[in-house]
Amino acid sequence: MLYAKQVQKVRYDAGRRDPEFSTVEVVLLSTTNLPLRDPKPFRPRYIGPFKVARKVNAVAYTRTLPAEMDMHPTFHVSLLRKLQESTIMLPNAQFGHFTTESPTGIITSVLRHRLKPDTPASTWFTLMEKL
Express each pLDDT in 28-39 by its tens digit. Answer: 999 988 888 888
- The structural domains of the chain, with segments of one domain joined by +, span 19-82
Alpha carbon 30 to chain centroid distance? 5
Q: What pLDDT digit, counting tens, does each position of 43-98 carry?
A: 889 988 889 999 999 899 998 888 888 889 999 999 999 888 765 555 555 544 44
Domain 19-82 has CATH 3.30.70: no
- Could you check whether the bond before residue 49 is cis, i.e. omega within 30 degrees of 0? yes
**If 0-12 CB within 10 Å is exposed, 13-18 middle and 19+ buried, where does residue 63 land?**
buried
Residue 18, SS3 per DSSP: coil
Q: Are 52 and 70 in contact (CB under 8 A)?
A: no
